[in-house]
Chains A and B, each alone.
Chain A
Amino acid sequence: MPESTTAPTGGPGPAASIHDIGYRHYDGARLGRAYARRSLFSQSLRGAYGLGRSARTKVLPMILLAVMCVPAAILVAVTVFTKARDLPLDYTRYAVYLQAVIGLFLAAQAPQSVSRDLRFKTVPLYFSRPIERADYVAAKYAAMSGALFLLTAVPLLILYAGALLAKLDFAEQTKGFVQGLVSVALLSLLFAAIGLVIAALTPRRGFGVAAVIAVLTIPYAAVSAIQGIAFAQGNTDVIGWLGLFSPITLIDGVQSAFLGATSAAPNGIGPSTGAGFVYLLVVLGIIAGSLALLMRRYRKAGL
């Protein structure tokens, strides 16, 4: 081995001896399409946290994950030391408070996941293999959702563990924790769909980052402002419906209707249960529409 590592450019001698090992055919298993889809999923999920990539790409996602977890740890510490009878914050409210961090993570990692393949034209290599368009979209979507779920569920787990440590009521805490998990799962599915469809529109990563941030923050700012005005004018009916127009308030609406959350809207005015169904339908509609757009996007991208 030490000899074979001499520069291969150093004449035919060492290089030729390396070549002479001969070609071996592969007779082992070929695990096919489902395995390839799983491999793409795990590679993309790991990639969202920079695992299996260079050290530089790990920095941002790991910092954001830490930023998500530190407030939870502080809340737990406060609860334990003050011997409070409940956590200072609901499980369902946590992600809403830290939506900026989630937005940053999505803005950074969604383009990383799909724009790169478009920009460096790696997509045709995928489609020249057993996987199909639907497999690619499914794997990328599942990976992005999974990465977001990890980002949002880990702090909830810290809260839950802390609550149990502080000997808070077990049944109540478990119920809240499960509600929180369902809420962040839905949030992850919705955000991943939005983030990927925007990122897949442009092979330029910078545009993707900016566009994702814009889509997450501008509607939220607008909705909040109009809700504030409506509240000031005493027009409380409108407040419940305005939440339909930005991603995070959609999730907020669904969870205040079904998951026992108090709405983040002014004065805690959320949609009624009936309106909650509309919220849920809109969320599912956005997810389905985004996936359909992604499928369409990759129809022409093969080869």
Chain B
Amino acid sequence: MTPGVARDTSVDCVTVIATESLSKRFLRVTALDRLSVDIAPGVTGLVGANGAGKSTLIKILLGLSPASEGTAAVLGLDVATEGGAIRERVGYMPEHDCLPPDVSATEFVVHMARMSGLPPTAARERTADTLRHVGLYEERYRPIGGYSTGMKQRVKLAQALVHDPQLVFLDEPTNGLDPAGRDEMLGLIRRVHRDFGISVLVTSHLLGELERTCDHVVVIDGGKLLRSSATDEFTQATTSLAIEVTDSDAYPDGLRALREALTAAGAVTGPAAGPGEGRPAATGRLLYVEAAGEETYDLVRDTVAELGLGLVRMEQRRHRIAEVFRDRDHESGHEGDRAAAPARTDATVRPAAPEAAPAGAPDA
């Protein structure tokens, strides 16, 4: 388990969110289908395609929308009867834009702090503190209308944190950010838990970025639990590199030559080395290599140069939600793939839906 997960604010509850056979049906669609999942303190990613039921789940957990059947508890409070108490202790950052352009970040966050029940003086102090923590300085006195997308996302995060909640729901916080802004936001989310001691439930449709940020990832699709598994420190430290090279006369199949050379160099481990590590696997024009650190980049560069190949592309590979679905279908053929790593789960997963069972609880 990641060090420093349980901090003082969340130490009193072993699970911050617990749902039991939670279902939500609308007239024609089933948004949530018998979802049972326990989420421990820490940073938890909630992954699903658009319409997978992420927003519906958050709405139910905030006590704003009654479940069709099943129960759910947030911080030990029943969502059906104690919604007000939950919303006092929980922060929410919506996916969409929610900021009036003609007020300053300070005024807006102070107002939102008071809406959470903070007395005027405390609201002002907490606002100044929180805006500083999310990285807004002098610009917080200017109207929000002039802010960049990254700054707006920070204000949205600040209003969710200003009342010092025990848990925050962050709905697609990296949406619309450029890669640098994305990394900053992910770093900020890590800090929310590590430094502030606030548990986080963060949604995304990008599994890759959540794997680097979260202690635990819950994948839902069509309202059903697909997978709930811990991401341990090792998988966070490694990233998968996608490499594309040109062929040369000496090596008509450049990828294959590179793969053999890299395997020979020993930096890329075989499938037996442990869960979460991958052998170099070539699919089509791309070669995937597990990067252990800076030296892997150097090794790839040097190896490519020695072979006299042209390096077309070397990039961090981001897992997409589609790969999870593909993995589910071809689970046996992809043991090496990190996304399909056995669920070494520190949170209890009790798949209620029989269809979810093979994906949610692979043989451990």
Contact = CB atoms under 8 A, between A and B. Distances in A.
Interface string A30-48: 1111011001100100000
B84 A132 contact: yes
Given A26-B126, A121-B98, A132-B84, A126 B133 contact: no
Contacts of B18: none
Given A24-B129, A130-B117, A302-B64, A53 B103 contact: yes
B117 A30 contact: yes
B87 A130 contact: yes
B88 A8 contact: no
Given A25-B164, A30-B118, A129-B87, A121 B64 contact: no
Contacts of A22: 195
Interface string A108-131: 000000001000111011111111
B62 interface: yes
Given A26-B122, A26-B163, A125 B97 contact: no
B317 interface: no
Contact of B132 (A21, A25, A132): A21
A125 B163 contact: no
Contacts of B59: 302-303
Nearest to A25: B164
B133 A23 contact: yes
Contacts of A129: 87-88, 112, 115-117
Nearest to A43: B111
Interface string B102-118: 11000100011011111
A39 B122 contact: no
Of A15, A32, A36, A129, most buried by chain B (CB within 10 Å of CB) is A129
Nearest to B89: A30
Contacts of B288: none
A131 B88 CA distance: 9
Interface in B106-152: 107, 111-112, 114-119, 122, 126, 129, 132-133, 135, 137-138, 143
Of A23, A35, A126, most buried by chain B (CB within 10 Å of CB) is A23
A143 to B, nearest CB: 14
A29 interface: yes
Nearest to A133: B64
A104 B158 CA distance: 37
A154 to B, nearest CB: 26
B102 A54 contact: yes
Interface string A1-18: 000010010000001001
A121 B99 CA distance: 7
Interface string B65-95: 1000000000000000000100110111010
Given A129-B87, A130-B84, A26 B118 contact: yes
Contact of B102 (A24, A53, A131, A302): A53
Contact of A18 (B99, B115, B116, B132): B132
Interface string B223-263: 00000000000000000000000000000000000000000
Nearest to B98: A121
Chain A contact residues: over half helix, strand or loop, or mixed? loop
Interface residues on A, range: 35 or more
A5 B138 contact: yes
B55 interface: yes
Nearest to B55: A303
B271 interface: no
Contacts of B132: 18, 21
Given A122-B98, A122-B99, A124-B94, A25 B9 contact: yes
B87 A29 contact: no
Contacts of A32: 84, 88, 117
A128 B87 contact: yes
Contacts of B119: 28-29, 31, 35
Contacts of B297: none
Contacts of B116: 30, 36, 129-130
Contacts of B163: 26, 30
B114 to A, nearest CB: 4
A124 B55 CA distance: 12
B358 interface: no
B229 to A, nearest CB: 28
A52 interface: yes
Contacts of A39: 111, 114-115
Interface string A51-82: 01110010000000000000000000000000
Contacts of A25: 8-9, 164, 197
A125 B98 contact: yes
Contacts of A15: 135
Nearest to B104: A54
A30 B123 CA distance: 10
A39 B116 CA distance: 10
Contacts of A30: 88, 116-118, 163
B51 interface: no
Contacts of A127: 64
Nearest to B123: A39
Contacts of B94: 121, 124-125, 128, 303
Interface of B: 8-9, 55, 58-59, 62, 64-65, 84, 87-88, 90-92, 94, 96-103, 107, 111-112, 114-119, 122, 126, 129, 132-133, 135, 137-138, 143, 159, 163-164, 195-197
Interface of A: 5, 8, 15, 18-19, 21-26, 28-33, 35-36, 39-40, 43, 52-54, 57, 116, 120-122, 124-132, 302-303
11 contacts: A5-B137, A23-B197, A30-B88, A30-B117, A31-B118, A36-B117, A43-B114, A121-B98, A124-B94, A128-B62, A128-B94
The list of the 7 closest CB pairs from A to B, nearest first, reads A26-B164, A128-B92, A39-B114, A30-B117, A23-B196, A31-B117, A120-B100
Given A25-B9, A26-B163, 8 more contacts: A5-B138, A30-B88, A30-B118, A30-B163, A39-B111, A39-B115, A52-B107, A130-B87
